[in-house]
Amino acid sequence: MLIDINNLTFAYGHKVVLHDLSLTIKPGDFVVVSGKNGSGKSTLVKCLLGINSVSNGLIFYNHEDINYFKKWTDIGYVPQKFDDFNYEFPITVSEILSVSKLRKTSEALKLKLLDDMGILENMNDSINSLSGGQIQRVFVVRAMLNHPRLLILDEPTASIDRKNVEYFRKTVNRLHAEGVTILLISHEQTLDELDYTHELHLDPSLEYTYKARPLPPPTEEIA
């Protein structure tokens, strides 16, 4: 999905968090958004999701103004925090995935995604019996299941342990290879294992840099 951000400025009251941000994300790009706490990473995501209404600046999805954008089903989103859902609701992982399906998807794909994320054995567990990291991985699978054209991941590995982070990276890299546009928010420094194409670095001083990833050193393929 093509994303155009034009002169986006966003403030909470008088506190400006994003200032005059402009960039274009082409279909198939894999953008990593980095920056310290308070640099506006999550604010940018909220703008992109239409949670923060944008009044100063413009955001376009496939040339369509976000304020009139309707096809939210093209977007998969994994939130940073998991306090928005109903912990007490008696529902299993498998049931969450089946009510979240937009169209018929094969059972095999569901099992494969669960296996990729290392939570296949938790499939029939109730959601409130899972740990934070497991819940996060369930939500990653849920977002991926509907083949989104844009996947927005807000600190998706925050509560996942090291071994499972590797599973996660492999899965994200595979989706990128399949042509899904990915926007990954991360405050971690170790991004090398991800096949990202661009990096947007936000700074609390409101400066930002957006650059393509330096090409890897030449390999024998070129020769």
Partner 1 sequence: MITLSFFSDLFTESFMQRAFLAGVMLGVLAPLIGSIVIIRRLSFIADTLGHFSLVGISLSLFLSYSLGNEIFADRPLFLGIFFSVVGGLLIEIFRRYYKSYKEISMPIVMSLGTAVSAMFFSLSKKTGSLYNYLFGSILTVTDYYIVVIAITMVVVILLYVLFFRQIISVSFEEGNAKFLGINLNFFQLIFIIVLSVVVSMMKMS
Report the interface residues with partner 1, using CB under 8 A. 49-50, 72-73, 75-77, 79, 84-86, 89, 91, 95-96, 99-102, 127, 142-143, 146, 148
State in angstroms the smallest separation of the CB of 152 from partner 1.
10
Nearer to partner 1, 137 or 198 (CB): 137
Nearer to partner 1, 125 or 195 (CB): 125
State in angstroms the smallest separation of the CB of 155 from partner 1.
16
Nearer to partner 1, 95 or 199 (CB): 95
State in angstroms the smallest separation of the CB of 87 from partner 1.
10
Nearer to partner 1, 16 or 91 (CB): 91
State in angstroms the smallest separation of the CB of 121 from partner 1.
22
Nearer to partner 1, 48 or 202 (CB): 48
State in angstroms the smallest separation of the CB of 63 from partner 1.
21
d(CA 54, CA 59): 8
State in angstroms the smallest separation of the CB of 151 from partner 1.
11
- DSSP code string of the chain: --EEEEEEEEEETTEEEEEEEEEEE-TT-EEEEE--TTSSHHHHHHHHTTSSPP-SSEEEETTEEGGG---GGGEEEE-S---SS-TTS--BHHHHHHHT-SS---HHHHHHHHHHTT-GGGTTSBGGGS-HHHHHHHHHHHHHHT--SEEEEESTTTT--HHHHHHHHHHHHHHHHTT-EEEEE---S--TTS---EEEEE-TTS-EEEEEPPPPPP-TTT-
Provide the β-strand partners of residue 21: 8
Q: 30 and 196 in contact (C-beta within 8 Å)?
A: yes
d(CA 143, CA 150): 10
Nearer to partner 1, 150 or 202 (CB): 150
Q: Which residue has the tokens 């400066």?
A: 207
State in angstroms the smallest separation of the CB of 95 from partner 1.
8
Nearer to partner 1, 50 or 206 (CB): 50
